[in-house]
Amino acid sequence: MGSMSDKVLVTGAAGFIGSHLTDLLLKLGYEVVGVDNLSAGRLENLDNALKYKSFKFVRSDILLNDNWIQESKGSSLIFHFAANPEVRHSVREPMNHYEQNLTATMRLLEFARKNDVKLFVFASSSTVYGDPERIPTPEDHPLRPISVYGATKASAEIMCQTYARLYGIKCLILRYANIIGPRLRHGVIYDFLLKLRNNREVLEILGDGTQRKSYLWVGDAVDATVRLADYALRDQGKIFVYNVGNDDWTSVIDIAKTVVEVLGLRSVKFIFRPGTPDGRGWLGDVKLMLLDISKLKEDLRWKPSMSSLEAVKATARSLAEELKMMY
Ligand SMILES: NC(=O)c1ccc[n+]([C@@H]2O[C@H](COP(=O)([O-])OP(=O)(O)OC[C@H]3O[C@@H](n4cnc5c(N)ncnc54)[C@H](O)[C@@H]3O)[C@@H](O)[C@H]2O)c1
């Protein structure tokens, strides 16, 4: 990707995907500046990265502070991963999502404009499609988000594309499915583990359990991310949009069964709490999500290394160990 002498800025570097991405970029020989306010991210996610001389961590809030700007000067590539990723909470706190996901992206785009950045990679989401008409959902499907989170991501995508047209900064928009793996601290698998830590007999499931979504191992996600960045840098185009997900999907009930099995628990009673009359987990929850990833597979000759359920199992094992729950 680019040349090894490139300096790379990763926002949200102490978070789940950002820290795995940082590890990979350092391994490939890049100089990396990682910015995070540690609101959700954790310094221990950067234990490996902090061993590299080529890594600099800057604790900074990209909305409220300016100290990251000086440290990030000279970066030719930006991976903008800082955000508030809690879809569920975006219904209750729309302004926070607007600021953390859209205003913060504007701050980064302005940095890119003023500092001659070559490529701006934006972590978008499958939620931009809302309840899709077509499954698997291709990139040219209309964007009709049903959550404030999804709407902030769709708006930020348009802003990135506009900056590409106006100012010539290449932009790569990655619409991730559910990304899972070690260090994850939000979403259904983490939620089930915390609940089972408190009560090993009853598990409350948000929704009717029939929600079906696609899950991708974080190692696969960051591998595809770096390869796509390399592809975008070498291509003549200005705007690149890719779905990044798995070939298959799995249901919430199967995730619940897998987590229970990994923990070696027996006779756990499942209680379903639908958040809406049609059985969603919460207002704004997309019930069925499977991305069409043929563009990614064809352009990169790439494929996921694990199925959705294999990734769920491996994640449940890793997180159970991190949470010291392996009985
Ligand atoms: N995990 C997924 O399944 C998934 C799916 C689709 C899209 N995404 C997107 O990928 C990105 C990373 O998600 P994640 O799962 O790693 O979440 P995460 O919460 O682990 O990472 C986000 C990081 O950003 C930091 N951050 C938030 N606001 C900040 C601010 N104002 N200034 C500085 N740092 C700030 C947090 O401390 C955190 O470390 C997000 O943009 C998210 O919306 C994630």
Residue 190 belongs to domain with CATH number: 3.90.25.10
Pairing of strands 212-213, 250-251: antiparallel
Q: Cβ(122) to ligand 1 under 6 A? A: no
Distance 312 CA to ligand 1 centre (A): 20
Which of 81, 90, 153, 285 has the most ligand 1 atoms within 8 A of CB, as the residue to mutate? 81
Across 218-285, the runs of DSSP E, i.e. the strands, are 239-244, 250-251, 269-273
pLDDT of residue 101: 97
Distance 12 CA to ligand 1 centre (A): 6
Q: Cβ(81) to ligand 1 under 6 A? A: yes
202 occurs within a structural domain:
yes
Claim to verify: residue 77 and residue 198 sit in the same structural domain = no
At position 287, the amino acid (one-letter code) is K
1 occurs within a structural domain:
no
Distance CA 177, CA 243 (A): 8
Claim to verify: residue 88 and residue 164 sit in the same structural domain = yes
Residue pLDDT, tens place only, 267-301 = 899 999 999 999 999 999 999 999 999 999 999 99
pLDDT of residue 88: 85
Domains contained in the chain, number:
2
Claim to verify: residue 135 and residue 257 sit in the same structural domain = no
156's enclosing H/E stretch is: helix 148-167
Closest residue by Cα to atom 15, ligand 1, is: 16
Across the chain, the runs of DSSP E, i.e. the strands, are 7-11, 31-36, 55-59, 75-80, 119-125, 170-176, 178-180, 202-206, 212-213, 215-217, 239-244, 250-251, 269-273, 288-289
- Positions marked catalytic: 149
Distance CA 120, CA 126 (A): 19
Q: Cβ(123) to ligand 1 under 6 A? A: yes
Distance CA 295, CA 313 (A): 27
DSSP state of 31: E
Structure token pair of residue 80: 């903008």
Tokens 């010291």 belong to 324
**Spatial contact of 121 and 80, defined as CB atoms under 8 Å apart:** yes
Residues of the chain with pLDDT under 70: 2-5, 327
Give the residue from 319, 172, 178 showing the smallest Cα distance to 246: 178
299 occurs within a structural domain:
no
Claim to verify: residue 133 and residue 114 sit in the same structural domain = yes
pLDDT of residue 5: 67
Claim to verify: residue 162 and residue 206 sit in the same structural domain = no
Give the residue from 210, 211, 229 showing the smallest Cα distance to 221: 229
Tokens 């932009």 belong to 171
Distance 15 CA to ligand 1 centre (A): 6
**Spatial contact of 263 and 320, defined as CB atoms under 8 Å apart:** yes
Give the residue from 247, 191, 182 showing the smallest Cα distance to 215: 247
From residue 52, give the alpha-carbon distance in Å to each of 27, 37, 67, 126.
Answer: 9, 20, 21, 33
What is the atom index within ligand 1 of the atom nearest the CA of 61? 32
What is the atom index within ligand 1 of the atom nearest the CA of 62? 32
The domain of 190 spans: 183-213+247-287+306-322
Residue pLDDT, tens place only, 160-215 = 999 999 999 999 999 999 999 999 999 999 999 999 999 999 999 999 999 999 99
Distance 123 CA to ligand 1 centre (A): 9
The reply to whether the predicted model has a pTM over 0.85 is: yes
Distance CA 76, CA 286 (A): 36
Q: Cβ(39) to ligand 1 under 6 A? A: yes
In degrees and rounded to multiples of 5, residue 76 shows phi and psi of -100, -15
Q: Cβ(179) to ligand 1 under 6 A? A: yes
**Spatial contact of 325 and 263, defined as CB atoms under 8 Å apart:** yes
Claim to verify: residue 144 and residue 198 sit in the same structural domain = no
Q: Cβ(21) to ligand 1 under 6 A? A: no
Positive or negative torsion for Cα 108, 149, 159, 220:
positive
What is the atom index within ligand 1 of the atom nearest the CA of 17? 16
Residue 165 belongs to domain with CATH number: 3.40.50.720
Q: Cβ(83) to ligand 1 under 6 A? A: yes
Q: Which residues contact 300 (CB under 8 A, 6 or more apart)?
A: 224, 227, 228, 231
